[in-house]
Amino acid sequence: MKGAWARRLGLRILLLACCLLAAAVGRAAPALDCRVANISPAARALSVTCAASALPAGRLQLRFLERFAGLDRLGERVFNLKLRDERGAVVRLEIHGGGLHLFSRGDRPQPVTISYDLRLAAALDPGQYALASSLGPEAGFLLPSDLLPRVCAEGEGECDAEPNPVRLQIAAPAGWQVATTQAERGGSFEVGDPQEAVFFLGRLRRRAVRAGEMEIEVAAAGNWGFTDEEAAELTEAIARDQASLVGGGEAGRFLVTLAPFPLPLTGLRSSGLARGRTVILMLNAAADPGLTFKHYQRHLAHEMFHFYVPNGFRVRENFDWFWEGFTRYVALTTLVRLGRLELTDYLAALGEEYEAYAANAARARLSLVDASPDKFTSRESNELIYRKGMLVAALYDLELRWQSQGKRSLADVLRALYQDYARRGREVGNSEVLGVLGRGGDFGAFTRDYITGTREIDLAESLEPYGLVIERSLATRGRTRIGVAPRLSGRQRALLSQF
């Protein structure tokens, strides 16, 4: 899921407005000095206290995140909100029209202390757990973007501009550790951008790996059917492969996490998010450890590629069809290149994606480009950008290899996009991505039909030139199974040998 565009949806929020008079310090966002304490894994609750002293002049707003990436009513997790002046007296809150909460102050500058409790026990759709702060018996994820208030000058757009710099202390439960990419000084973490920060808490087991200039900490909680060493080796292998794929460029500290879901679930499933330089990944294991690890490596490879796409880019508009659908395909081919998946796994994955696409009622009504803005409001759009997006990426990759006789692949196109836009800090949107894809070869009709248009994919017809066939029989129980044709040309054999 889930990169830079989703983060920009963040500040659609429960409004708590305050009327403060303070010394004129310009329009810079005031700094907050916050402490998270009373963390109760059993109750899934905690308390927060923030001191705000250098407040700008005029009316200010105090806001909590209300909506993010399809999650609504996040502000309802806040309880016992109090504001106190420098003498410790509680500032009276008044309900104002439109649901705004206002409080009034005297006519001189005074510091304010904000305190409240947060309850993180909401039951969510399993795929959404990684999108917000959570707390369970074995681990928790604290995201300053929805954990801490936003203090800003009153006025439309003010709270969507510069974030509050935060000094954050976390009083972890006994025996728990904190893992993060944020700098720590004097017992406090310096959080420059709350939208990018993640704090992983728990009884953590930690490993350090390196891939080029990337220093990656792998932190895990919970017990799995694979070892911490296997998870660390997988992380390092994926990081090295994907850095090579885009031509490198990312450097510094990164964090890759693994934790159980905060509430009990059944069945093999996972929830993930790449926020800034941290991968949040929650996993619920299957009875078969091998199946669990296969699922884990696919999801991990997907989230880690978000370090590059879209998190490494200046994003102008939503093109989720590419950074989610194509990234889903990149995760698959990453593992093929690493020898962790075989051609049969690759073809089975394409068959699964096609079945999900063929069952989607919106497939002939919505293009990938049109479906992307509705990713979080429509299940059909969400499924389309992931499933059809991956399928289109696969067909593009096969056709590019075919046209170039094996000399070029989707990896070359991704490298060009990353080098031309991310490395040079150039803004990117649908037109730029489509332009780079189009320059790969003769793809004008392809992009019009399958990306900006709604032509349905005939998988058997699309795969036939590459020596691949659709097999349906009693043995496959009606499922879409992709196989290799019994007779291949030399060119087809050379193409499939690359997988």
- pLDDT of 170-221, one tens digit each? 999 999 999 999 999 988 999 988 889 999 999 999 999 999 899 999 999 9
Domain that holds residue 138: 4-200
Classify each residue of 380-405 as buried b or exposed e, where b means 16 or more C-beta atoms within 10 Å of its C-beta.
Answer: ebbbbbbbbbbbbbbbbbbbbbbeee
Query: What is the band of 304 on the pLDDT scale with cuts at 50, 70, 90?
Result: very high
In a domain, 163, yes or no: yes
The Cβ of residue 148 has, within 10 Å, a number of other Cβ atoms equal to 26
Count of domains forming the chain = 1
When mean pLDDT is compared over 20-24, 106-110, 252-256, the highest value belongs to 252-256
Q: Is 399 helix (H, G, I), strand (E, B) or coil?
A: helix
In a domain, 231, yes or no: no
- Residue 318: how many CA atoms within 13 Å on its side-chain side? 21
Which of 339, 345, 342, 433 lies closest to 392 in space, CA to CA? 433
Q: What is the DSSP string of 164-183?
A: PPEEEEE-PPTT-EEE-SSE
Radius of gyration of the chain (CA): 24
Query: What is the band of 99 on the pLDDT scale with cuts at 50, 70, 90?
Result: very low
In a domain, 193, yes or no: yes
Strands (E), 343-428: 427-428
pTM: 0.89
Sheet with 183-185: list strands edge to edge. Answer: 78-84, 112-119, 45-52, 32-40, 166-170, 188-191, 183-185
Query: Would you mind telling me the total number of residues written for the chain in this entry?
Result: 499
Looking at residue 190, which CATH number applies to its domain? 2.60.40.3650
pLDDT per residue as tens digits for the range 245-303: 999 878 899 999 999 999 999 999 999 999 999 999 999 999 999 999 999 999 999 99
The residues pairing with 71 across neighbouring beta strands, listed in sequence order, are: 68
- Residue 490: how many CA atoms within 13 Å on its side-chain side? 0
Tokens for 61, please give them: 């707003």
In a domain, 457, yes or no: no
Question: Is the predicted pLDDT of residue 21 greater than 90, yes or no?
Answer: no
pLDDT per residue as tens digits for the range 422-434: 999 999 999 999 9
Average pLDDT over residues 68-73: 82
Query: What is the band of 6 on the pLDDT scale with cuts at 50, 70, 90?
Result: very low
Tokens for 47, please give them: 């308390």
Instruction: Phi first, then psi: give them for residue 270, nearest 5 degrees.
Output: -150, 160
Residues 415 and 245 sit within 8 Å (Cβ to Cβ): yes
Question: Is the predicted pLDDT of residue 20 greater than 70, yes or no?
Answer: no
In a domain, 24, yes or no: yes
Task: Please name the residues in contact with 475: beta carbons below 8 A apart, sequence gap of 6 or more.
Answer: none
In a domain, 141, yes or no: yes
Q: Which class for 302: exposed (0-12), middle (13-18), buried (19 or more C-beta within 10 A)?
A: buried
Question: Is the predicted pLDDT of residue 478 greater than 90, yes or no?
Answer: no
Mean pLDDT of all residues belonging to the chain: 87
Question: Is the predicted pLDDT of residue 22 greater than 60, yes or no?
Answer: no
Task: Please name the residues in contact with 298: beta carbons below 8 A apart, sequence gap of 6 or more.
Answer: 331, 332, 335
Looking at residue 127, what is its pLDDT?
A: 85
Instruction: Phi first, then psi: give them for residue 385, nearest 5 degrees.
Output: -70, -30
Which of 296, 180, 305 lies closest to 238 in space, CA to CA? 305
Which of 33, 136, 18, 38 lies closest to 79 in space, CA to CA? 38
Question: Distance of alpha carbon 37 from its chain centroid, rounded?
Answer: 27
Looking at residue 160, what is its pLDDT?
A: 62
Name the DSSP class of 56.
Answer: P
CA 96 vs CA 18, 82, 100, 248, 290: distances in Å: 11, 17, 5, 53, 57
Residues 404 and 441 sit within 8 Å (Cβ to Cβ): yes
In a domain, 441, yes or no: no
Average pLDDT over residues 49-71: 76
Residues 372 and 321 sit within 8 Å (Cβ to Cβ): yes
In a domain, 338, yes or no: no
Question: Is the predicted pLDDT of residue 2 greater than 80, yes or no?
Answer: no
Average pLDDT over residues 19-47: 75
pLDDT per residue as tens digits for the range 450-460: 999 999 999 99
Query: Percentage of the chain surpassing pLDDT 70?
Result: 86
Looking at residue 92, what is its pLDDT?
A: 62
Tokens for 355, please give them: 């079945």
Residues 430 and 320 sit within 8 Å (Cβ to Cβ): no
Which of 15, 47, 18 lies closest to 112 in space, CA to CA? 18
Tokens for 404, please give them: 């170039």
Instruction: Output 410 or 66, whichever has higher pLDDT.
Output: 410
pLDDT per residue as tens digits for the range 326-361: 999 999 999 999 999 999 999 999 999 999 999 999
Classify each residue of 187-199 as buried b or exposed e, where b means 16 or more C-beta atoms within 10 Å of its C-beta.
Answer: ebbebebbbbbbb
Q: Which class for 359: exposed (0-12), middle (13-18), buried (19 or more C-beta within 10 A)?
A: exposed
What's the sign of the alpha-carbon dihedral 424, 425, 426, 432? Answer: positive
Query: What is the band of 471 on the pLDDT scale with cuts at 50, 70, 90?
Result: confident
Residues 221 and 258 sit within 8 Å (Cβ to Cβ): yes
Cα gap 412→415, rounded to integer Å: 5
Question: Is the predicted pLDDT of residue 83 greater than 90, yes or no?
Answer: no
Question: Distance of alpha carbon 404 from its chain centroid, rounded?
Answer: 33
